[in-house]
Chain A
Amino acid sequence: SAVISQKPSRDICQRGTSLTIQCQVDSQVTMMFWYRQQPGQSLTLIATANQGSEATYESGFVIDKFPISRPNLTFSTLTVSNMSPEDSSIYLCSVIMGASTTNEKLFFGSGTQLSVL
């Protein structure tokens, strides 16, 4: 299994500022993803964090607002830039270990609860 450390667990930020969220995994993983869960809503995929190259963003999410880094196979960061109250959400890191549909396993970090004032 994988142990995921996501930091910070929560933060309260002022509008216009930026926050960087870290996701550290205790072993090398195949894929890393970032999700957002707005209050009372489901999880929405923000992007796939690609090791050594630019992240792949889903529709409605852009690199200028949510820059992502993944320098190696165990670590990724998501930055929420120029924040507004609408960015108040839980942000989750997710990883996949394994190479095929039958043996791969998915894990989620504990999430970062962000409140923007």
Chain B
Amino acid sequence: GNSVTQMEGPVTLSEEAFLTINCTYTATGYPSLFWYVQYPGEGLQLLLKATKADDKGSNKGFEATYRKETTSFHLEKGSVQVSDSAVYFCALRGQAGTALIFGKGTTLSVSS
């Protein structure tokens, strides 16, 4: 079945450091890929998404490129801020109308 594997956290960075959170997936066909963020005490928010190979999703300085050849959707940001501290979830959806499958989440902690 479909699944998502994320790098284990927590990830601890200093402000303005470069961020990469790895995400790989297993799926049949051509899934859509997502990154969600959950700030402390808040609900899930969609950060970015990509629906086909080579698409790049971007939002708030974060980027992720859908790489079918490596079945990956790594999240990157060039310069993190303290306000980026949150839990980040990679997710996929196998086809239209089906539920999201989530990775285990990666906690990011950014210090000033």
Q: Which A residues contact B (CB, under 8 angstroms)?
A: 30-31, 33, 41-45, 48, 92, 94, 96, 98-102, 104, 106, 108-111
Contact = CB atoms under 8 A, between A and B. Distances in A.
A110 B43 CA distance: 6
Size category, B interface: 10 to 19
B20 interface: no
Most buried by A among B32, B44, B93, B98: B44
Interface of B: 32, 43-44, 46, 51, 89, 93, 95-105
A30 B104 contact: no
A41 B105 CA distance: 7
B97 A104 contact: yes
14 contacts: A31-B97, A31-B98, A41-B104, A42-B89, A42-B104, A43-B100, A43-B102, A92-B43, A94-B99, A101-B51, A101-B93, A104-B97, A106-B93, A109-B43
Nearest 7 pairs of A and B residues by beta carbon: A101-B96, A33-B99, A43-B102, A42-B104, A42-B102, A42-B105, A45-B99
